Chain A
Amino acid sequence: MTVTRLKASNFKSFKELDVELGPFNVLIGANASGKSNFVQAFRFLKNIVTVGLDSAITLQGSEEYLGNIRIASQSGMSLEISAYFPGLIGVRLDVGFLNINTTTAVYRININPAHKTKKRAVSEILTYACEYSIFEVPGIENRKILGSGSIKVSSDNGHTSIEIDKPENLALTENHISPKFSNIKNDESKSLAFQMFSLGVQNGKMKSTMLNEPSITSWPLQLRISRFSFYDIESKLIKESLVTAGRSELDENGANLSIVLKKILASDDRIKLLNLINDVLPYVEDLNVVTSSDRAMLLTLQESYSKGKFLPANLLSDGTINVIALIIALFFEDNDLVIIEEPEKYLHPHLVSRLVNLMMDASKKKQIIVTTHNPEFVRHAGLENLLLVSRDEDGFSVVKKPAESEAVKVFLENELGIDELYVQNLLDMP
């Protein structure tokens, strides 16, 4: 899955946001321009899916801080995420075996905050664009394409429904594609996305296509959103941490790095990890995780300067720790979309280009969004991957693509570097 577009209305510092995303996205902009709010849109979506709307709002502060403070507090807000979403669901019909191939998925949520005596009003729409084809005899290659359409699941203040747009004469009903849909109907207290996600997890069938028991609740957009990963690596914290237990997935701040590393170093991925680290940090020769008598796990590293000795994490440079954690987040974690804040922290400019190259490589398999202030990062990221966040005349955040600016093209044709244009604040030229 690739998120192709993010739209928002009255969300935090954005009045209106509509931005197309690619595999590798580098978010730049001045302090307080709205970069973090852009990231929060993804976090909010993930929380809606994984912990439900009420908790998602609480995690953002409160309803009051969800919308823009310059817009009347009772105004509604919306978020919409579009994704390239190839998937397949099979339905056995009287006339043969129907294949429903999804192409894109769009999830939209509208929230009108509670105001005086009015309760909060929420509506959600999840639309899968799809193509229908039928095998008259299953397993034989006589596929007949029937046409395209869509399947829309919506919820308006707890009242849920399914709408099927399909070729005429195709006897496909709600029951065919979602026999368990009634389980999630009419629950005002939870978001539709959360219920669909929870039902899918309970069914334990989120990862496979449902040929035998089709169910729209099992279509995994919610699962994909739930696997958005956020990282803001705190190398000083990692250096000071002595962890004895923790999650096997890397924490957002990387605090459990030694636990995650121990698992990778004991697996077939050990060489791959060392190769990738060595590509950015050529002085790293080996890595180890030692367990002390009190069962605390400690990362140790052998540098080419340390005469064969392993140094404990607290003696390593912050940049070294940061790069190791990032490589794990990019290449060893099970996620589709990785959002990293200031990945170049503590890194020498010369090594920044290596990190950017590594991220570009990683973006061939998973989508990446990074925020940065670093001109060297901007220089190597490529103009087409830059998203510039700035404030408009009225103080609202806006996102522009410098690659679409005619003025920027002229500057670049005159051999002025992207980094120079960034430092001089010229990337927002029309």
Chain B
Amino acid sequence: MTDPDTLFLMVEGRDDVRFFETVIVPPLKQKYKGIKILEHSGWTKREVDRFIDSFRRIRADYILIKDLNSAPCVSVRKQKLLEEGKYQSIETDNIAVVVREIESWYLAGFSEKDCRRLKIKAHKSTNDLVKEQFDQLVPERYLRADFMIEILKCLSIEEAKRRNRSFRYFMDKYLPEVTA
């Protein structure tokens, strides 16, 4: 049996798509011939089941990416997701949890020097950063999406791994070769 050559990344919204397209997909292309990012936010349980079954039948890898939200830790979040029923068909190992929200991964990769350049507060760790805090950091001359794009232009994977635990875990698990 050969290794799967397609990977499906199921993410929640546009901010996640932008981050994964720019930061995660390029290095993953060494491993997979085809990578598809799917927005799953509107899916019903039936759709989730059908997609997951299809991924398995075509022997593709898949990862469901979810925010930690208010859960106290990753394992509780995963447990809750499975209990909710909608994601029952997904193995725990195929779920990646972003702590706490994708904004934390954005800001984690923005260096102190770049923070000084844009006159925003630098965070030693973004493990506890939530969307609302991120929104408050957006400099006045930027729109939110515009600011996120600027961050991605100079995002440092090493910096992000140092400042966000869940990003480091994700990279070590799925992209260990990117570790410097």
A416 touches B51 (CB 8 A): yes
A426 touches B36 (CB 8 A): yes
In whole angstroms, what is the CA distance A406 to B57 when docked?
Answer: 10
A414 contacts across to B, CB distance below 8 A? 50-51, 53-54, 57
CB distance from A283 to the nearest CB of B (A): 32
Within 8 A of A (CB), among B47-65: 47, 50-51, 53-54, 57-58, 60
Within 8 A of A (CB), among B12-66: 34, 36, 38-39, 47, 50-51, 53-54, 57-58, 60
14 contacting pairs across A/B (C-beta < 8 A):
A407-B58, A407-B60, A410-B57, A411-B51, A414-B50, A414-B53, A415-B50, A416-B47, A416-B51, A424-B36, A424-B38, A424-B39, A429-B34, A430-B34
| Interface residues on chain A, number (Cβ under 8 Å) | 13
B39 touches A410 (CB 8 A): no
Contact with B along A408-424 (1 / 0, CB 8 A): 00110011100010001
Known A410-B54, A411-B54, A414-B50; judge A429-B39 contact (CB<8 A). no
User: What is the interface of chain B, defined by CB distance below 8 A to chain A?
Assistant: 6, 34, 36, 38-39, 47, 50-51, 53-54, 57-58, 60
B47 contacts across to A, CB distance below 8 A? 416, 420
A429 contacts across to B, CB distance below 8 A? 6, 34, 36, 58
Within 8 A of B (CB), among A118-153: none
In whole angstroms, what is the CA distance A250 to B120 when docked?
Answer: 60
CB distance from B16 to the nearest CB of A (A): 14
B51 contacts across to A, CB distance below 8 A? 411, 414, 416
A420 contacts across to B, CB distance below 8 A? 47
A425 contacts across to B, CB distance below 8 A? 36
In whole angstroms, what is the CA distance A407 to B47 when docked?
Answer: 16
CB distance from B84 to the nearest CB of A (A): 21
CB distance from B88 to the nearest CB of A (A): 16
Within 8 A of B (CB), among A376-405: none
B50 contacts across to A, CB distance below 8 A? 411, 414-416
A410 contacts across to B, CB distance below 8 A? 54, 57-58
CB distance from B90 to the nearest CB of A (A): 15
CB distance from B54 to the nearest CB of A (A): 5
Q: Which of A406, A420, A425 has the most CB of B within 10 A?
A: A420
B38 contacts across to A, CB distance below 8 A? 424, 426
Chain A residue with the shortest CB-CB distance to B10 = A424
Since A406-B58, A407-B60, A410-B58 are in contact, a sample of 14 more A-B pairs with Cβ atoms closer than 8 Å, ordered by chain A residue number, is: A407-B54, A407-B58, A410-B57, A411-B51, A414-B50, A414-B51, A414-B53, A416-B47, A416-B51, A420-B47, A424-B39, A426-B38, A429-B6, A429-B34
In whole angstroms, what is the CA distance A140 to B57 when docked?
Answer: 63
In whole angstroms, what is the CA distance A429 to B53 when docked?
Answer: 16
B53 contacts across to A, CB distance below 8 A? 414
A416 touches B34 (CB 8 A): no
In whole angstroms, what is the CA distance A426 to B39 when docked?
Answer: 12
In whole angstroms, what is the CA distance A14 to B34 when docked?
Answer: 21
A415 contacts across to B, CB distance below 8 A? 50
In whole angstroms, what is the CA distance A166 to B58 when docked?
Answer: 51
CB distance from A121 to the nearest CB of B (A): 39
In whole angstroms, what is the CA distance A411 to B53 when docked?
Answer: 9
B36 contacts across to A, CB distance below 8 A? 424-426, 429
A406 contacts across to B, CB distance below 8 A? 58
Q: Which of A414, A416, A425 has the most CB of B within 10 A?
A: A414
Chain B residue with the shortest CB-CB distance to A393 = B29
In order of increasing CB-CB distance, the 5 nearest A-B pairs are: A414-B50, A407-B58, A414-B54, A411-B54, A410-B57
In whole angstroms, what is the CA distance A201 to B6 when docked?
Answer: 55
In whole angstroms, what is the CA distance A406 to B58 when docked?
Answer: 8
CB distance from A8 to the nearest CB of B (A): 25
CB distance from B107 to the nearest CB of A (A): 28
